Structure 1
Amino acid sequence: MHNDSINTAKKHLVILYQLPESWANVRSVWEAARADDSVDVSVILLPFIHRDYQWQRDQAEAHLRALGVPFVPWDSHALEGEQIDAVLYTSPYDETRPPAYKFAELRQRVGLTAYIPYGLEVGGGEQNYVYQYGQPVTAHADAVFVRSQSVREMFARHCPTGAGHVHVTGHPRMDGLVDIAQFRADPALLEAIGERKAVLWNAHFSFDGDLWSTFDQLAAGILDAFAARPDLVLLLRPHPLLWKKLINLNILKEQEIADLKVQLRASGVIIDERSDHRHAFAASSAMMSDAGSFLMEYLATGKPVLYLKNPHGLGLNEEGAAVVRQYQSAADVEQVAVFLDQLRRDEDPLLLSRTAAIRHFFHRLDGAAGRRVLDVLKGLMA
């Protein structure tokens, strides 16, 4: 083959898909690549191997089919002999992937490795810095794409290889939130909310170890607070690992989880288990959240946020602490009640400072981060 043929050949980008909830991280990259005549993009479906997550192959496959995204399952795909110019990881954790797709193995077969952070990390603790910045993918990928300059500075401080491979493109996940006020939420969700104000409740799964969750401490009081305020409705969207974690810690059995969901719905709680979190973001008027990605991400909606603080846990990293300064906080039900009553009265004391802070946390929140990621990848593949 002549050199000019090689140079004009399409580059092959592979996206590794593990979780329905993580498709938002690469959706706009996929769309940009599909529209680019110089790139072939494909998706390989991998399992998500984790003791606290009930991964279901049929659910993952159905999700991709519903989106119209062609894919190849990992167990019917042969890596040998295939030309892959770049691979894009959506999870940093090698232990969640089959052996052939672990970083050290796969990097031997592909021209370029890249990573988009699976979450907008806010959790503190030295061990957590290793989880977020010191994994093989985060430390040794050829390119990592982040939401802001301040995240790149976090890599400079906490990643063992520094931040030379980190590109500030904006996070593709945020492309889906640029016009969140215009997003068409599921009519079934809107009907369930009715004329009430919905408060999104994002509960973490860390009841042991990191202790970021307040679910076990505040749940009963939060349910009582909403029962006393019929003009509000609680929209519960727990961390994807929460239910299985309750089972693994022998707090509840699987049937008891199912019964709990029935009881919560009967009491008026709306449980949101859609793969696309934008429905909950668009339909809610405010959010209460433990330490987790939503604590950062929801800022882009401009709506009020209440940080639920576990006083016994590891707390927040530098970025988490910075964003929480734009929010109210609560460590008990009385403080939750103050926040809810402010919302009922349409009071938002932090509105101006909170909305002004958006540009600090999100580089060029313009819906084009996915395109910028692809442009960097193309440059590196050239």
Structure 2
Amino acid sequence: MIDFIKAYLPGPLKSYLKILKRNTFDRISGRLKINRVRLRHAYLVDELAQRKRIKVVFLAVHKSVWKVDALYQIMAADPFFEPEVLVCPYTSFGHERMREELEKTYEYFKTKGYSVEKSIKDDGQIVRLRDLDPDIVVFTNPHNLTLKEYYQDAYSRYLSIYVPYYYMATNHVGDAQEELDTLMLNSMWRIYWPHKYIFDKFSVVSRIQGRNSKLTGYPATEMLLKCDLPAEGDVWKMQINKKKKIIYAPHHSISDDNSSLSTFLRLGMVMKQLAEQYADFVQWSFKPHPILKAKLYLHPDWGKERTDEYYEFWSNQAHTQLDEGEYEYLFMHSDAIIHDCSSFIVEYAVTGKPGLYLKNGTRSDMDFLNDFGKCVFERYRTANSEAEISDFILDLVRDKSFHENSDSSCFNRYLSEFYDEELPSEKIIKDIKSALTKSYH
């Protein structure tokens, strides 16, 4: 009966009723759920405070957005913690894509020698979180990309932590209230934010006024800042002659709306042509966002065959390569980046190397950046055409200086504040231990 009524409601009335439901029933219902979760957190903290060893399960979906490696490593070296990774299924783009991503991510952690479990075994049996018996669960993604068992059920039952998987330097997704005031984020026991702008914004818009928030900096950039990567970790293809190394990293947001950062549909083929044009002087890494391929498969102008051919080009040429995993070594041994992503705006700026940001034509110059993003963006050139991209490449090949007119003082102050005396991962570990110890005493 309800479906019948919905079918005949005028469009504007449907939209109004959806907004009304979201602002009344959903908010009241959400608030009750959040209150229940927070009461459970208080009980769990008291219980865990008496433990001498804490089991921590990291919920990982994509290997390429694993941004808590420093945190895992510190826990693995600390007898107080017993860390384990559970690779969760990526359910947004069908069974085939889910299986492919599950296996690749599992093998990634296996190769690193981490304690890791697949959430779906080879016989199709699902591993329940309760079978792993976690004390704390660490979320590596805030979105509902997986099974309910590893999302709503997980943060409702366990003491939960979230470390953002990107630097949150842009506001391209739209309304901050809608992005940040979610049931998931409000249900976290702890959120460890990368910078003060987003920490303050969450405090303003969230229903719990950010009471679960800590300001720590971003663990994923620790290795880049320490610059202690060994030379033998170089992941670039060997070349007969020395060439400049450029990373091309396109974003996944290929939809034609205000939430899109991507320039791929307009410039993706241009970048391929430029890679061929400058093959004698430049070697390239194609570093796409992990869900770009799945979106291109479904795009009417691309599809599976054309997408696979495009990816194979980058993988197979002598002067190009496809990189879909971690990228610290890739960044440190590169000479420059060309991209249209959000988090890489900051992550690559940490290296101090030249960056070219590809502008989406639907946006004005700076409206996609929040205040923190604007602070970092001083280090970038921008491009909107093949000619501007080509100029950047030629300046790099000719060893032209890139940062002579840029003001890095704002970004340098941020790095000094959050990384000089104590690293973000160390702050997170200290906070977890402190919270449990205070509860005990």
Question: Do Structure 1 and Structure 2 share a fold, with TM-score over 0.5?
Answer: yes
* Alignment map for 1:76-91 (pairs within 5 Å): 76-80=126-130, 84-91=134-141
Please give the alpha-carbon distance, in whole angstroms, between the structure 1 residues aligned to 2:47 and 2:262. 57
In the alignment, the residues of structure 2 paired with residue 321 and residue 292 of structure 1 have an alpha-carbon distance, to the nearest angstrom, of: 12
Match of 2:295 in 1: 245
Give the AA of the match of 1:28: A
Cα distance, 1:22 vs structure 2: 2.6
SS at match of 1:334: helix
Shift, 1:281, TM fit: 0.6
Name the counterpart of 1:365.
419
Residue 196 (structure 1) shift: 0.6
Match in the other structure for 2:389: 336
CA distance in 2 between counterparts of 1:289 and 1:15 reads: 29
Q: Which residue of 1 aligns with 2:36?
A: none
Matched residue, 1:310: 360
Tell me, yes or no, if the aligned pair for 2:162 and 2:192 is still in contact at 8 Å.
yes
Name which of 100, 121, 126 aligns with 2:168.
Answer: 121
Q: Deviations over 1:55-113 (max 9, x none)?
A: 322212211110111123335544448753321110101x212112223x223422x22
Q: Rg: which structure is higher?
A: 2
Contact 1:46/1:97, CA 8 A, preserved across alignment: yes
Cα distance in 2 between the residues matched to 1:294 and 1:133? 20
Partner of 2:418, secondary structure, is coil
**1:312-364 residue CA offsets vs partner (Å, 9 max, x unmatched):** 14733333333223311111222222222221232234257465444344453
Task: Name the residue aligned to 2:106.
Answer: 61
Indicate the residue corresponding to 1:21 in structure 2: 64
Distance 2:191 2:156 in 1: 18
Q: Is residue 2:430 matched to residue 1:375?
A: yes
Unaligned runs of 5+ in 2: 1-45, 121-125
1:204 matched to 2:251:
yes
Residue in structure 2 matched with residue 74 of structure 1 by the alignment: 119
Does the CA contact (< 8 Å) of 1:121 and 1:132 recur in 2?
A: no
Q: For 1:159-218, what per-residue CA distance to the aligned partner results, in whole angstroms no more than 9, with x for missing partners?
A: 443333221222111122123474446556241485110111111122213231112222
Letter in 2 for 1:350: H
Report if the CA contact (8 A) 1:90-1:115 is conserved: yes
Conservation of the 8 A alpha-carbon contact between 2:160 and 2:189? yes
Give identity over the alignment, percent.
Answer: 18
Deviates more, 1:77-86 or 1:145-154: 77-86
Residues paired across the two proteins, number:
376
Q: 2:334 aligns with which of 278, 281, 284?
A: 284
Structure 1, 279-288 or 358-367: larger mean CA deviation: 358-367
Alpha-carbon offset, residue 228 of structure 1:
4.0
Alignment match, 1:139: 186
Contact 1:15 1:42 in 2 (8 A): yes
Q: RMSD of the TM alignment (CA)? A: 3.0
CA offset at residue 237 of structure 1? 0.9
Q: Which residue of 2 aligns with 1:46?
A: 88
Query: What whole-Å deviation, never above 9, does each CA across 1:269-306 have from its counterpart, x for those lacking one?
Result: 52332411123212210111103211111011010111
Cα distance change on mapping 1:81 and 1:199 into 2, 3 Å: closer
Residue pair 2:239, 2:319 contacting (<8 A) in 1 also: no
2:265 maps to which residue?
216
In structure 1, give the amino acid aligned to 2:383. Answer: A
Measure, in 2, the Cα distance between the counterparts of 1:145 and 1:12.
19
- Secondary structure of 2:270 counterpart: helix
Query: Among 31, 50, 54, which residue is 1:11 paired with?
Result: 54
Q: 1:41 to 1:132 in 2, by over 3 A?
A: same
SS in 2 for 1:364: helix
Is 1:107–2:155 an aligned residue pair? yes
Cα distance in structure 2, aligned partners of 1:39 and 1:167: 20
Normalised TM-score (structure 2):
0.76
Q: 1:281 to 1:368 in 2, by over 3 A?
A: same
State the distance in 2 between where 1:263 and 1:272 align: 9
**Matched position secondary structure for 1:72:** strand
- Judged with a 3 Å threshold, the aligned counterparts in structure 2 of structure 1 residues 321 and 214 are, in CA distance, closer, same or farther, namely same
Q: Aligned to 1:200, what secondary structure does the other structure show? A: strand
Tell me which of 220, 234, 242 is aligned to 1:173. Answer: 220
Cα distance in 1, alignment partners of residues 49 and 265 from structure 2: 59
Give the alignment's TM-score, normalised by structure 1.
Answer: 0.86
1:40 is paired with a residue whose SS is strand
Q: Does 1:35 align with 2:77?
A: yes
CA contact (8 A) 1:246 1:252 kept: yes
